[in-house]
Structure 1
Amino acid sequence: MTCAPHPATFRLLDTYVGWDESTEPGARGIVGIVGFDDPAGLRLAYRGDAPEGPTRGSLLPWFPDPRLAPGCGPCAWYLLVPDERRLLRRDVCSGAFTPVWPPGCDPAALREPVSVAARGHRLAVVESDRVLVWRREGGQLAGVIRAERPRWAALAPDDEVLVACQGSTDLRRYDSTGGFRGVLRTGARGEVIGLRTGPERTVWLLTDDDGRIRIHRGGHRGPFRPVTADELAAALPPSALTSAGEDGFCLSEKGPDGPQTTCFTWQGLPRDAAPPTTDAYMTSGSYVTTLIDSGISRCRWHRVRVDADVPAGTAVAVEIVVSEDGRYEESDWQLSAPGATDFLVDQPPGRFLRLRLRLSGDGGATPVVRRIRLDFPRATSADLLPPAFRQDPAADDFTERFLSLFDATLAQLDRVIERYPALLDPAGVPDRVLPWLAGLLGLSYEAGWDAPTRRALLAAAPELYRRRGTPWALREAVRIVFGVAPVIDELAADRCWAQLRKAAQGQGQGPEPRRGQGLGAVRLFGRSASRFRIGGSALGAAPLRAFGAPDSDPYTAHAHRFRVLLPAGSADRTALLRLVERQAPAHTVGSVRTGGAGFVVGSRSTVGVDTAFVPLPAPVLGGARPVRLNRDGVLRPGPRGLRRGVGVGVVSAVGVHTRVS
């Protein structure tokens, strides 16, 4: 129980706090239930000697029956018929199994086939004393591998064949022609019942050690180690095989109306009904807790809540008993209603409570119980009523139970309200909630923005709104969306109307100070060639432009206009322009310019946007563009080494050490 300064009001039973299993000699404790250390919760045990491990049936999609092997494509399968010494291949178009080789055309007649393996267009059939390897899906016999009692084979991506022999878990390595390459030690115990290869040259091994099935992962670069079924499912995609029994097998594949199941016999003939399968789980299990101490004498236990997943065909039942001294009779147990996972405690007051959990199923599925919560002492809205309503004990008990129905509903509303601030956390909400959260803040997303970009915009929204319309806000929005900081060029700063050069500061070498350029040397105003003036411009010498008085041109030229500069290839120009239009103030006009191929004559160019200083290419004598031996030609680096562009603190000459591109 979590330590807190206030009295406890509930008790949790789960993996993190503990399930408090009973260890008393007379109690039945745990029967048929596993998962007490699993955060996923309690569940029914598997049948057999490994109640918590995987079953052979659950691993069929990854380790099929030795007579089956998935081929190239989602619907391609190979089926080995040992009794008839035939190998069948499923036709992708018709879905029927047909012989790989026509009668009498088998390049290597099968004698005693044991298992089959396939990978891409390669095929291998394991016999009692050899392994036959084909290419082109059986069209070309690549080689024959001689081995002692082989049972399993797997085809590696580098034209390697792994063979597992009877009585050993070590793997023998061959090439497709039968050449021996060595032995791969696995260190696994038991008997090999499955073998396959995965990406990055990984090898997956399935063993049976006295009824306990284990999965091992290894390869040429690392030792083999046991892994779980979840790790297997995360690393390798499952096949369409869903079940296999004595009478046949079934495949679950995508159809025009959704997933459909197709069943076949072991001779490749279609079946109408699925073959019988062995139950994976036990059909019942129970678990009893120890005496749970409330710490309150004659405590009135209030409520039991069970957090569980109950699939069809399964059930969860909870029984409780309350006592003051830990002694009780079998008839004192209170059983919850069928299917109820939230009920009130109908027991006399007592300090101790004991709980019994029963799980049941049909063998094909199991319920999962994640957590059980016990609320105490009883606290309802009846405590707010006047004492006159609580004088009769029987009526008082009914009133408390009746009001508990409404208290439960209000408690759910309170939990929703308490969790509401979590919905405003950009880093914690699911991806699908981000558009809703952006709508609350007035943000709009584009379809191409990923979830991290949207979360970053939501986190920066308060500061972006506070400084909206400033160059910083526009620069920050572009940086978040496109991952690059732009250059904001305000065109009004480029105006050079009616300006004088600043006077030089400081004293010169002579007795008189140095003077800057003054009036008479710079023309402040004069004849304008930018647009036509009546009485001042010759016809055809200046363009006709009508946007106000010409005398205001020094103040209105490029006013409220800016340009966003980005290097070439750093952002989509159309998407960038849409973002700039949304972020720019209403009285301004923004434009976008991405980097070009070099300097633009007659317009402003920015280093890093339009240009980049790169080193000269290596000189080559002769060829299409021969190097001339002059002062700019360098045959080999000097004592300081090869120049790599512009160096800080080092004199670099454009055209000698670098070129502008």
Structure 2
Amino acid sequence: MTCTPHPATFRLLDAYVGWEEPTGGEPGREGIVGFDDPAGIRLAHSGPAPDGPTRAQLLPWFPDRRLAPGHGPCSWYLLVPDGPGLLRRDACTGTWTAVWPPRCDPGLLREPVSVAAWEHRLAVVDGDRVLVWRREGAQLAGVIRVDEPRWAALAPGDEVLVACADGTDLRRFDSTGAFRGLLRTGAQGEIVGLRTGAGRTVWLLTDDDGLLRIYRSVGRGRGQGAFRTATVDELAAALPPSALVSADEDGFCLREDGPDGAVTTCHTWQGQPRQTPPTATAPYVTDGFLLTGLIDSGISRCRWHRVRVDADVPTGTAVAVEIVVSEDGRYDETDWQASPPGVTDFLVDQPPGRYLRLRLRLSGDGGATPVVRRIRLDFPRSTSAELLPPAYRMDPAADDFTERFLSLFDASLADLDRVIERYPALLDPSGVPDRVLPWLAGLLGLSFETGWDAGTRRALLAAAPALYRRRGTPWALREAVRIVFGVNPVIEELATDRRWAWLREAVGSQEPQQAQQAQQAQQAQQSKGAGLGAVRLFSRSSSRFRLDGSALGAAPLRAFGAPDTDPLTAHAHRFRVLLPAGTADEQALRRLVERQAPAHTVGSVRTGGAGFVVGSRSTVGVDTAFVPLPPPVLGGEHPLRLGRDGVIGPGPRGTRRGVGAGIVSAVGVHTQVW
């Protein structure tokens, strides 16, 4: 699509290829982290853990040991060792009150250090024991004796996890103090946070010489558990964050939703209101740089062409790029070419040379950081000026201007080429975002129900070619129902049931050989159940009006077709979709069947009922359910037929126990398997 005479060569700097850091003693980076992160490099965190999460980031999930979120969005517990003991926050007024008033305080707390809560249970680490209460402190459940406890967490199943000062293994107890076993974590460092989540998942926060690590359990059984490191994103996806937003030595702040929007309230560690919020520390350093080594083009006197930086630059941050080109790797400080401010795509204005060196500078205000995902270096210079007549390139100054001028248009054409090259990816249902799926379905003539999730929609789009090739067949309809509802339906074509009645043909007047063949065919049909079907031969006609055969007003007047073929055409081009009860939304299933059925057919949907009666027509897997028969009701909207649909009474000898040969029994009423 482009006008360039040959493909351009380029080098990438990213987490997959590498950032070409210098191998000598010269420092190649400072204040920048994330060189192995596919998301990109960024400014480092301030503090002892530049590449790990900060304590302020993890406060919503791992609060101070004196704080614990309670049962409800605004419920909190605050431990005040030198004051009233344990406080509970009033969800209505936002004030802190004592869990046990002075006249009701049992006086059990002596040296409390941490508090934990789960639904209506409380646990306080106090000296060499852990006190556990039920009913939000109203009932003492048990006292757990353990050496040097530091943290406690409450888990489902009336379980209490205790972390001690002698390591990172967790001790398991029940609320009464009975020991359940030891849970080995293999975590490194000192436990500074302990949480439990759904599915009895355990989350740990450890401090290993200033580096914070998050661990989560991946298996529990027989007192053992496998733990692995986790990221902040995994933690946020598994546990909802609390309202705690900041904390320091003097107090903490909660940010909660109010009638007029989000409201931030600050408190001291004694539960008193605090006017000045905690001083926010800058999470990032304000400056960092990356100096690459000599990037070899492999071409002597190479004319480097273009530098492109793929980066996110929030407000208050900046990205600056400098380059220098040399033939032998030697250069002066004045030879560096700097990119214009705010520009991340520029041409190389350097003499030809084999080697290029790049210096990247990231800066910010401390509250945010730019993120550089990738840097692309294009070489050698190849523009559409090479397609011009030689007369346009005789003057070196004019030639340089022409190349730089035409590079503007070459860049636009290259962007269009990339869009065209990536166009097939827009038709891949497994790779596009969820919001693109309806647009992609419109191209294929599909329509989605509002209740279908993204996975169902992607599966339908992926199966659309096969469904279109075999549309109108039982396989296509069965496959569409399986994709949408997750069950395999039974498709019953009514014309193949042969429900109409027929009489045997006379074979006496035929030739002996023909008569023998007809008799064999008749016996074969009889072995398949052929004979009188569901159509009654001598009843009054109800499909259409016949003289002397139909009651006036009881049958429609029809002037098309032959009356004798009505039993045959009653089920022609008709089918039924059968599903067990409760496996699919019947209305949504009907709409799907209408869209997938051929135009000349009539489809119906039937889901299983409450049960079946032996001897009556039923479909295994659809109507099969061993349940008692409903009580018989005479009359009404759906009247029953005596002797077939209901059991009026148990008989003179009472309710039968079990099934007896020759005795009438109803499955689900007095049928028992012995």
Task: State TM-score, norm by structure 2.
Answer: 0.80
Matched to 2:60, the amino acid is P
Could you give the per-residue CA deviations for residues 380-404 of structure 1, whole angstroms, max 9, x where no partner exists?
2333333333333223222322332
- How much does 1:441 deviate? 1.8
- How much does 1:58 deviate? 2.1
Alignment partners' CA distance in 2, 1:514 and 1:181: 80
Alignment partners' CA distance in 2, 1:48 and 1:534: 94
- How much does 1:252 deviate? 2.8
In structure 2, relative to structure 1, the CA distance for the partners of 1:628 and 1:366 (3 Å cut) is closer
Is residue 602 of structure 2 the alignment partner of residue 592 of structure 1?
no
Report the number of matched residues.
617
Aligned to 1:554: 565
Could you give the per-residue CA deviations for residues 276-299 of structure 1, whole angstroms, max 9, x where no partner exists?
133333222211111111122222
Alignment partners' CA distance in 1, 2:20 and 2:306: 18
Could you give the per-residue CA deviations for residues 470-496 of structure 1, whole angstroms, max 9, x where no partner exists?
555444434443432332424497475
Aligned counterpart for 1:267 among listed residues 270, 282, 292: 270
Is residue 587 of structure 2 the alignment partner of residue 574 of structure 1?
yes
Contact 1:495 1:554 in 2 (8 A): no
In structure 2, relative to structure 1, the CA distance for the partners of 1:339 and 1:103 (3 Å cut) is farther
Name the SS for the 2:461 alignment partner: helix
Aligned to 1:487: 491
In structure 2, relative to structure 1, the CA distance for the partners of 1:590 and 1:110 (3 Å cut) is closer
Aligned to 2:126: 127
Alignment partners' CA distance in 1, 2:405 and 2:546: 99
- How much does 1:327 deviate? 0.8
Contact 2:608 2:624 in 1 (8 A): no
Could you give the per-residue CA deviations for residues 233-271 of structure 1, whole angstroms, max 9, x where no partner exists?
444333222221123212233344554433322232334
Alignment partners' CA distance in 2, 1:438 and 1:224: 42
- How much does 1:615 deviate? 13
User: Which stretch of structure 1 is more off in the superposition, 141-150 or 368-377?
Assistant: 141-150
- How much does 1:139 deviate? 2.1
Alignment partners' CA distance in 1, 2:158 and 2:44: 42
User: Which stretch of structure 1 is more off in the superposition, 319-328 or 221-230?
Assistant: 221-230
Matched to 2:124, the amino acid is V
Alignment partners' CA distance in 1, 2:539 and 2:156: 77
Matched to 2:587, the amino acid is T
Is residue 7 of structure 2 the alignment partner of residue 16 of structure 1?
no
Could you give the per-residue CA deviations for residues 543-588 of structure 1, whole angstroms, max 9, x where no partner exists?
5542116745427833754021303324433223222333334444
Q: Gaps (5+ residues) in structure 1?
A: 1-5, 617-621, 634-654
Aligned to 2:155: 156
- How much does 1:371 deviate? 1.0
In structure 2, relative to structure 1, the CA distance for the partners of 1:301 and 1:148 (3 Å cut) is same
Matched to 1:9, the amino acid is T
Matched to 2:578, the amino acid is L
Alignment partners' CA distance in 1, 2:82 and 2:17: 57
- How much does 1:438 deviate? 1.2
- How much does 1:627 deviate? 3.6
- How much does 1:92 deviate? 1.2
Matched to 1:34, the amino acid is V
Aligned to 1:412: 415
In structure 2, relative to structure 1, the CA distance for the partners of 1:117 and 1:458 (3 Å cut) is closer
Alignment partners' CA distance in 2, 1:204 and 1:187: 13
Aligned to 2:438: 435
- How much does 1:65 deviate? 0.9
Contact 1:492 1:557 in 2 (8 A): no
Name the SS for the 2:141 alignment partner: strand
- How much does 1:10 deviate? 0.8
Pairing of 1:45-194 with structure 2 (within 5 A): 45-108=44-107, 110-166=109-165, 168-178=167-177, 184=183, 186=185, 188-194=187-193
Matched to 1:23, the amino acid is T
Aligned to 2:209: 210
Matched to 2:16, the amino acid is Y
Could you give the per-residue CA deviations for residues 422-479 of structure 1, whole angstroms, max 9, x where no partner exists?
1122333222212111111222121223333333332333344444445554444344
Matched to 2:67, the amino acid is L
Could you give the per-residue CA deviations for residues 516-557 of structure 1, whole angstroms, max 9, x where no partner exists?
499xxx9xxx99952699996278499554211674542783
Aligned to 2:575: 563
Alignment partners' CA distance in 2, 1:396 and 1:189: 63
In structure 2, relative to structure 1, the CA distance for the partners of 1:471 and 1:404 (3 Å cut) is same
Contact 2:323 2:358 in 1 (8 A): yes
Aligned to 1:625: 656
In structure 2, relative to structure 1, the CA distance for the partners of 1:503 and 1:227 (3 Å cut) is farther
- How much does 1:419 deviate? 1.3
Aligned to 2:390: 387
Is residue 375 of structure 2 the alignment partner of residue 372 of structure 1?
yes
Alignment partners' CA distance in 2, 1:110 and 1:460: 65
- How much does 1:625 deviate? 2.7
Contact 1:492 1:561 in 2 (8 A): no
Name the SS for the 2:58 alignment partner: coil
Contact 1:311 1:367 in 2 (8 A): yes
User: Which stretch of structure 1 is more off in the superposition, 9-18 or 390-399?
Assistant: 390-399
- How much does 1:72 deviate? 1.0
- How much does 1:376 deviate? 1.1
Alignment partners' CA distance in 2, 1:536 and 1:156: 80
Aligned counterpart for 1:317 among listed residues 311, 317, 320: 320
Q: Gaps (5+ residues) in structure 2?
A: 1-5, 522-530, 532-536, 629-652, 665-669
Pairing of 1:262-661 with structure 2 (within 5 A): 262-482=265-485, 483-491=487-495, 494=498, 496=500, 501=505, 513=516, 516=519, 529-530=540-541, 537=548, 540=551, 544-548=555-559, 551=562, 553-554=564-565, 557-558=569-570, 561-569=573-581, 570-596=583-609, 597-598=611-612, 605=617, 607-608=619-620, 612=624, 624-627=655-658
User: Which stretch of structure 1 is more off in the superposition, 406-415 or 586-595?
Assistant: 586-595
Alignment partners' CA distance in 1, 2:149 and 2:136: 22
Matched to 1:73, the amino acid is G
In structure 2, relative to structure 1, the CA distance for the partners of 1:334 and 1:507 (3 Å cut) is farther
Alignment partners' CA distance in 1, 2:545 and 2:213: 97
Alignment partners' CA distance in 2, 1:122 and 1:390: 84
Name the SS for the 1:412 alignment partner: helix
Matched to 1:125, the amino acid is V
Could you give the per-residue CA deviations for residues 48-77 of structure 1, whole angstroms, max 9, x where no partner exists?
443322322222222211221111122211
In structure 2, relative to structure 1, the CA distance for the partners of 1:176 and 1:567 (3 Å cut) is closer
- How much does 1:374 deviate? 0.6
Matched to 2:112, the amino acid is P
Contact 1:171 1:184 in 2 (8 A): yes
In structure 2, relative to structure 1, the CA distance for the partners of 1:535 and 1:120 (3 Å cut) is closer
In structure 2, relative to structure 1, the CA distance for the partners of 1:329 and 1:499 (3 Å cut) is farther
Contact 2:545 2:555 in 1 (8 A): no
Contact 2:477 2:593 in 1 (8 A): yes
In structure 2, relative to structure 1, the CA distance for the partners of 1:242 and 1:474 (3 Å cut) is same
Task: State TM-score, norm by structure 1.
Answer: 0.81
In structure 2, relative to structure 1, the CA distance for the partners of 1:395 and 1:252 (3 Å cut) is farther
User: Over the residues paired in the alignment, what is the CA RMSD in angstroms?
Assistant: 4.1
Alignment partners' CA distance in 2, 1:214 and 1:271: 31
Contact 2:321 2:360 in 1 (8 A): yes
Contact 1:615 1:657 in 2 (8 A): no
In structure 2, relative to structure 1, the CA distance for the partners of 1:444 and 1:212 (3 Å cut) is closer
Contact 1:322 1:351 in 2 (8 A): yes
In structure 2, relative to structure 1, the CA distance for the partners of 1:376 and 1:119 (3 Å cut) is same
Contact 1:498 1:554 in 2 (8 A): no
User: Which stretch of structure 1 is more off in the superposition, 205-214 or 436-445?
Assistant: 205-214
User: Which stretch of structure 1 is more off in the superposition, 560-569 or 301-310?
Assistant: 560-569
